[in-house]
Amino acid sequence: MSKKSLMVVLVLVLCARVALADGVSMRVNQSEFYFNVGEDAIIPIVINNTYGKEIGGMLSYTVTQEISQAGFYYSSSSTNSRSVSFEPGVSAINLNFGTSNAPTTLRVGLSFTYDGTKREVLPEFVIHFVLGNTTQPISRPLSSTSQTIAQQPSIRRSTQQIFNQIFGNTKATTPQSNILSQDMNALKSQIQKQLQEQQSLEENFKQAVAQNSDVQKAHHSLIEEGFNMTNARFNPLSNNTGTFELSYRNKSGAEARVIGRMENGTIKRLVKDTPKLRQQMLSQLHQSREFQQFEQQLLQQGFKQTGLSFN
């Protein structure tokens, strides 16, 4: 190979490496953010565009909210995309994810797709709405899959200066931030509506179970035996369809249960589980030859009975 050809190859390799270095990266200064209930969750995102020109694309975000209330767990996600463009160099946008009137946690994922096939993904970060002190524990910074800001040779300002500027400015009222805030408020309203519907469904199912004569009979028989209800679990599929379990305990600590399944207002299965009934079943079980043979085999193999459960 001639020196001229070798020179051309080296130039092509160097150009390829420079081209690969160009891109758009995203960064946040921590993986978890804490805000007081009622406070807007404004998250600064640092953008680094090394192309030397304005780059347009789609900014996509997924927000997942988890709610646990009155023994009911609910999770809802919303994914949206917006067309955005970033000037060359380092810039920052403040994204407003709205607020919450109760303690809750949001999980947020961001990605930026541009030039048709290129996609920059920022790892998931967490937003906590809390009561009282919002002191933040130590958490790691998050960077997208591209080179981090501190490693980019074209940055003229330090990372700390960038974050100081972000936290000190008022750029949260940009159109992009307002759109995100509106979407977050819509998501919150949707979750609250679905939670209210679920609570209404559970309340109607409770009423259907409580008014059923078979359930009332089983309940009153346990009360007469000295048991008091300690807990109730309901899993409704509709206003009059679902499963339930009522738990009881007497003064000596013995426990009892009423387990049932209702379909369209009709009890399809109802089991009363009490110490007395369990003792009767155990007595019948020990009289069974099949059980005796099985128990003997286990004892010969070195097993010992440690507990007893009836289903």
Report, as an integer, the average pLDDT of 203-231: 89
User: What are the pLDDT digits (tens) for 88-125?
Assistant: 888 888 888 888 887 888 889 988 888 877 888 888 99
User: What are the pLDDT digits (tens) for 48-90?
Assistant: 988 888 888 888 888 887 665 544 455 667 777 788 888 888 8
| DSSP bridge partners of 272 | 258
Residues 155 and 30 in one domain: yes
Residues 40 and 102 in one domain: yes
Residues 26 and 73 in one domain: yes
Residues 169 and 239 in one domain: no
| Residue 218 resides in a domain | yes
Domain span at residue 256 reads: 211-300
Residues 103 and 188 in one domain: yes
CATH no. for residue 147? 2.60.40.10
**Number of domains into which the chain is organized:** 2
Range with lowest mean pLDDT among 10-14, 19-23, 64-68, 246-250: 10-14
| Residue 6 resides in a domain | no
Residues 175 and 45 in one domain: yes
pLDDT of residue 137: 53
pLDDT of residue 310: 57
